A and B are shown apart, each in its own frame.
Chain A
């Protein structure tokens, strides 16, 4: 091979790594405490990478640090979509450690959990302003979606023009109402699922590929 073609070759190789392999989009999983964000993150990670992201719990504020799972390759119709998923602590405007005492926790542990929770929420807000390219907003469909935290967060996401996919989780439960969520956020499409049971995950992956691909 002549020097010239060799040079041309290495330039085009460099160019292809520069331009075609763009960084995977960072998708933040947001929503109120206990909505099922980690359960969803774990399901996505297990389905496509084989391992989990973090612990799930019925006690709110289980996730107190944002956790990133990198290079999750999701395949849809022969096309590959690569994303980083960021499981975030549930967002709230208040944390009262005495509520953890009801879950059989010692005061020391409850106070520590609440301190970590507040740091986690602050961190989640920071990620939302600076470090995510898209949002999966998870809601517990057995709960009233019409809360100030949800309204504010959706407003913050919209103001940054981030693509957002709203998920109505826990449809396996009898009290679930997906329509209530659709009514609360009519400007966005809502997809229903059970992250715990794995119901309707195919549609969730279709939507992820469409929104963030």
Chain B
């Protein structure tokens, strides 16, 4: 992310944990830009509050337009599955209370590999560039 300066010669993995508060009030494209800028800098981006379905749909679309051979292969994204109690009821959606409080992990496809995933655990292997 913008302020996070990391020395060019280090080969560590940078993780950006973005709070719900920081995302709040941003437009869909601002959120997507923030995510993809981070991922394209080879960072792992973790969102405290996830994206709405519509934002996810646009994230896939914008990701596709940015893929280019030998440079950017796209993203790996994981979220906890929404609970079966399903808060995205029609009423909830009509009231604009879409359930987006799902931790979301996004990283460069060529650097992050999901090892295991279930309702309560995401285990991922992150390799250095």
Contacts and interface: CB of A to CB of B under 8 A. Distances in A.
B117 A146 contact: yes
A109 interface: no
B68 to A, nearest CB: 8
Contacts of B69: 97, 111, 114-115
A88 B64 CA distance: 15
A138 B76 CA distance: 21
B54 A159 contact: yes
A94 B82 contact: no
B98 A159 contact: yes
| Interface of B (DSSP majority class) | mixed
Main secondary structure, interface of A, reads helix
B18 interface: no
A159 B88 contact: yes
Interface in A117-161: 118-119, 121-122, 125-126, 128-129, 146, 148, 151-152, 155-156, 158-161
Contacts of A97: 69
B60 A96 contact: no
B74 interface: yes
B67 to A, nearest CB: 5
B82 A93 contact: no
A95 B84 CA distance: 31
B79 A122 contact: no
Contacts of A93: 60, 63, 74-77, 109
A176 B94 CA distance: 38
Q: Which bucket holds chain A's interface residue count? A: 20 to 34
A66 to B, nearest CB: 13
Contact of A187 (B57, B58, B63, B86): B86
Contact of A129 (B57, B79, B82): B57
A191 interface: no
B65 A148 contact: no
B52 A122 contact: no
7 contacts: A93-B63, A93-B74, A96-B109, A125-B57, A148-B76, A152-B56, A161-B90
Interface of B: 52-54, 56-58, 60-61, 63-65, 67, 69, 73-79, 81-82, 84, 86, 88, 90, 93, 98, 109-110, 117
